[in-house]
Amino acid sequence: MADEIAVVGGIDTHTDFHQAAVIDGIGRHLATEQFETTPQGYQRLLDWLRSNGEVLAVGVEGTGAYGAEIARFLTANEVTVVEVDRPDRKARRDNGKSDPIDAYGAATAVLSGRAGGTPKSRNGIVEAIRALRVVRKSAVKARTQTINQIRTLIVTAPSVVRDRLRGLSARELVDTLARSRPAGELHDPACAVRIALRRLARRYQALDEETKEADKEIGPLVTKTAPRLIALPGLGPETVGQLLTSAGDNPGRLHSEAAFAHLCGAAPVPASSGRTNRHRLNRGGDRQANNALHTVVLVRMKCDRRTQEYVARRTAQGMAKKDVIRCLKRFVAREIYRHLPHVTHTTTPLLQTS
């Protein structure tokens, strides 16, 4: 239509419904409406957006949670989706809080340029890896809690129970307890502790088996997706799986290795004052990705000759260990970005560690 205006949409996402809003090219509020989070609701939302004019882009809050499916739907229908961060507390205090206000805020953030991030596509093999890693991570966490509970119970157990279990490694302890056959009356503390320990040991074994099964499923997917990454020193299926998950199925949305470092919380933050000129560790970004980088750095500090030489040189120059680790994280982030699948690389020299 010749008189069709250009509009920008905004969506405040929830479990059962999404609140959508539309503004024109100069930020005037045009309309707002609520839609169910169903395939039919998504189609009605898209038709409603287009009925207001030519849709330039749609800002969506929570593309990694409640807004994941609507973001996929809009992208599949050739609508530009922009990831919008939740407004900070000061903005909420100044402007108030309601679903229509948040939806208009998302649209305004896109129009003003405050929001410009490309959301993860969540429609490929990396999304499959992410889903499987959720199960593995929870199993590992529960397994750790279980062995801690076993050790705590042993500390407070009667000596007749505790003395038999002294000096055993975690594996020996679990095997011994799982094979035990407690006898006696439940009102006897020693008998009750033996029963509790056996149940915890068998729970540990079940969680350990679940973790191993997850590793068998995740390992081949990670190797297939990023064979160049898995071949780098210090990287294994767990760290590569996390880094792929953080980058997403469309890592091309990260326009440079600096953007990837920022995502991982590995971009140095200036911390200079007066005559002191220094940087500090970045506490922002994806903390799980940052933890993966930290693991890679620690492994390389133990096993990689090039890293060991770098640490020795920087230490001799008077650099603190935490600053050396910061520099190494930045270098590892740069190297990993160059080996991410489907990324167009620049020509920045790899050995520029700063």
Write the DSSP string, 37-88.
SSHHHHHHHHHHHHHTSEEEEEEEE-TTTTTHHHHHHHHHTT--EEEEPPPP
Residue closest to 243 by CA, chosen among 258, 224, 230: 230
pLDDT tens digits for range 282-315: 778 899 999 999 999 999 999 999 999 999 999 9
Domain boundaries, the chain: 6-112, 125-225, 228-339
Q: Phi-psi category of 274—alpha, beta or left, where left has phi over 0 and alpha has psi -120 to 50?
A: left
Matching residue, tokens 């940087």: 279
Q: Is the pLDDT of residue 348 over 60?
A: no
Of 107-121, 149-163, 334-348, least confident by mean pLDDT is 334-348
Residue closest to 325 by CA, chosen among 275, 282, 286, 287: 282
d(CA 143, CA 199): 13
3-state secondary structure of 35: strand
Q: Is the pLDDT of residue 41 over 60?
A: yes
Contact 248, 126 (CB under 8 A): yes
Matching residue, tokens 């470092």: 261
Contact 230, 104 (CB under 8 A): no
Residue closest to 14 by CA, chosen among 46, 40, 41: 41
Contact 9, 20 (CB under 8 A): yes
pLDDT tens digits for range 222-246: 999 999 999 999 999 999 999 999 9
* pTM recorded for the entire structure: 0.83
| Element spanning 19, H or E | strand 17-24
End-to-end CA separation in angstroms for the chain = 55
**Largest Cα–Cα distance in the chain?**
89
- Average pLDDT, stretch 90-112? 83
What pLDDT, on a 0 to 100 scale, did the predictor assign at position 211?
97
Q: Are strands 54-61 and 6-13 parallel, antiparallel or unpaired?
A: parallel
Matching residue, tokens 């507390």: 89
Measured in whole angstroms, the distance separating CA 224 from the mean position of its chain's CA atoms is 21
d(CA 140, CA 183): 31
103 — phi, psi (to 5°)? -65, -45
- Tell me which amino acid residue 315 is: T
277 — phi, psi (to 5°)? -120, 105
- CA-to-CA separations, 130 to 110, 133, 168, 259, in angstroms, rounded: 28, 5, 36, 21
Q: Span 6-112: which CATH code?
A: 3.30.420.40
User: Which pLDDT band holds residue 342 (cuts at 50, 70, 90)?
Assistant: confident
